[in-house]
Amino acid sequence: MDPLALVIIEALIKSIVVIIVLLTGFAYLTLMERMVVARIQVRVGPNRVGRVFGIAALQPIADAIKMIFKEDFIPANADKLIYVLAPGIAVGTALLAWAVIPLNPPLTIFGYTINFEIANVNVAVLYLLAIGSLSIYGIVLGGWSANNKYSLLGALRSTAQMVSYEVSLGLSLVGVLMVSGTLSLTQIVQQQSMIWNVVWQPLGFVIYLVCALAEINRVPFDLPEAETELVAGYQTEYSSLKFALFYMAEYINMLTISAIASTVFLGGYQGPFGILPGVHWLLIKMLIFIFIFMWIRGTLPRFRYDQLMRFGWQVLLPLALANTFVTAVVLVLLGK
C-alpha cells in the first residue's frame, strides 16, 4: 500500500476514535459533575435513569434526548448565519486541540509503529496556544449575533478575559519549553519518563492551572456566563442543540485543559518513576484535574470583572514573567 494513504487512513481512524471518545466522555463528564457537586451540596444527585450501582448510567443519554427535542429558537433580530455558526466554531476549536496530545507510548504491531497522537507536530505547543485563541470566536460571535444585551456583555467580558489571561498562559508554558528544549509534545512527554516537569516548574504549573480555568470560563472565572448577573451570558438566547453544543465545548475544553496540564507538567502517559506507562495514567491525571475543577465550582464564589482583570495583569503576568526569567537565568548558569 502507498505509505501516504496508510498515514491518512491511520489519521482518520485515530481522529474518529478520539472524537467519539471525547463526545461520550463529555456526556459522562456532565454526569460526574452533577454527582460530585451534589455530594458537595449534601444532595444525592441523579440516580434514577438506568441505575447501575446507584449511578444513573443513562442520565446523559436522557439529557441529550431532552436537549434534542427542545425548541430550536432563533431570535428575530439575530444575525442568523453567525448565530448558527458560533456553536459549531466553539465545538470545532475545542476538538482541534486533541490532534497533538500524545495518549499512549508508541506501539509496534507486525513491524508497523503506531503513534498514539493524531499528528506528531514539532510545534505542538504553539499549535495548542493558537487553537486556544481561536476558541474565543465561538463565544464572541455567539454573544454578538444574538442581539441581546446580556449576551453582548457576556461576550465582551469573555474577550477581555481571554485576551488578558492568554498572555500569562503562554508564558507559563515557556518555562517548560526552556527546560525541555522542544516544542513537540511527544518529546516533552518522553523526556518526563522519570521526573515530571512539575518538579522544575512548580510555579509555572500553578499559573497554568489558574489561567486555564480562566480560559475555559470555569468558576471562579465564569464571568462570561455568570448566571446571577448575566442570566447565561453569551448563551442566553441559545436553546436546544445549539445550547448543548456550547455546553459540549465547555466540557471538552475542560478535558483539553486537564490533558495539556497532565502532558506538559505531569508526564502525560508516563507513570510515576517510569511505572507502566500507558493511557491509563493520562486518564487518572485528567480525572484528578477535572475533580478539582468541579470541587472549585462547588465551593467558590465568583470574582468581579475588574478584580479578575487586575488579578490577571497585576499578579499572574508578573509572576509568569518572573518564572520565565528565573528559569532562563538558572539554565544559563547551569550552562545548558
Partner 1 sequence: MAVTEPVAPAVVKPTTTNDPQSIADQIKAKYPDAVESLSAQGIVIRRDRLPDVARFLRDSPALSFDYLNNLTSVDYPDRFEVVYHLSSISRGGAPIALKVNVNRENPTVSSLVPVYRGADFQEREVYDMMGIRFAGHPNLRRILMWEGFEGYPLRKNYHEPYYEEEHKPFGTRWDQGHHVIAEDRNPWHDNVQYPPDLDATTYKPPRDEIRTAGIENVSVTKLRTDKIVLNIGPQHPSTHGVLRLKTTIDGETIVAVEPVLGYLHRNHEKIGERNTFLQNMPYTDRLDYFTSMANNHAYAIAVEKLMGVKVPERAEYIRVIMVELTRVIAHMSLLGFLYNDLGAFYTPLLYGLEERELVLDLFESVAGSRMMCNYMRFGGVARDLPEGWLDRCQYLVDERLPRVLDEMGNYLIGNEVFRARTKNVGILPRDLAINYSTAGPVLRGSGVKYDVRRAEPYSIYDRFDFDIPVGTNGDVYDRFMMRFWETQQSLRILKQALKQIPAGEIMTGKKNYQVRVPKGEAYGRGENPKGELGFYLVSDGSPNPYRYHVRAPSFINLGTLNEMAVGHKIADLIVILGSYDVVMGEVDR
Nearer to partner 1, 281 or 311 (CB): 311
Dihedral sign of CA atoms 208, 211, 216, 220 in order:
positive
Question: What is residue 51's three-state secondary structure?
Answer: strand
Nearer to partner 1, 40 or 57 (CB): 40
Whose cell is 496508510? That residue is 6
What is the Cα–Cα distance from 126 to 99, expressed in whole angstroms? 13
CA distances from 112 to 41, 65, 108, 118 (A): 51, 41, 5, 16
What is the Cα–Cα distance from 279 to 259, expressed in whole angstroms? 11
Binds partner 1 (CB under 8 A): choice among 111, 306, 332, 334: 306
Binds partner 1 (CB under 8 A): choice among 303, 312, 317, 320: 303
DSSP 303: P
**Which of positions 42-101 make contact with partner 1 (CB under 8 A)?**
42-43
**Dihedral, 37, 226, 248, 95 alpha carbons, nearest 10:** -120
Q: Does 24 bind partner 1 (CB under 8 A)?
A: no
Number of residues binding to partner 1, judged by CB under 8 A: 30
Q: Does 298 bind partner 1 (CB under 8 A)?
A: yes
Residue 217 makes CB contacts below 8 A (sequence gap 6+) with 139, 158, 161, 223, 224, 225, 250
Q: Does 316 bind partner 1 (CB under 8 A)?
A: no
- Helix extents (H) in the chain: 3-40, 59-68, 80-96, 124-134, 136-145, 149-180, 185-191, 197-200, 202-215, 227-230, 240-265, 279-299, 305-310, 317-333
Q: Does 105 bind partner 1 (CB under 8 A)?
A: no
**Which of positions 127-186 make contact with partner 1 (CB under 8 A)?**
149-150, 153, 157
Binds partner 1 (CB under 8 A): choice among 9, 16, 194, 300: 300
Q: Least distance (Å) from partner 1 to the CB of residue 43?
A: 7
Beta-bridged to residue 55, according to DSSP, are 52
Q: What are the backbone angles phi and psi of residue 105, rounded to the nearest 5°?
A: -65, 155
Binds partner 1 (CB under 8 A): choice among 76, 301, 332, 333: 301
Nearer to partner 1, 143 or 267 (CB): 143
Nearer to partner 1, 38 or 321 (CB): 38
Q: Does 206 bind partner 1 (CB under 8 A)?
A: no
Q: Does 29 bind partner 1 (CB under 8 A)?
A: no
Q: Least distance (Å) from partner 1 to the CB of residue 242?
A: 20
Q: Does 282 bind partner 1 (CB under 8 A)?
A: no
Question: What is residue 271's three-state secondary structure?
Answer: coil
**Which of positions 244-263 make contact with partner 1 (CB under 8 A)?**
none
Nearer to partner 1, 24 or 299 (CB): 299
List residues binding partner 1 (CB under 8 A).
Answer: 37, 40-43, 149-150, 153, 157, 219-220, 222-223, 226-231, 297-307
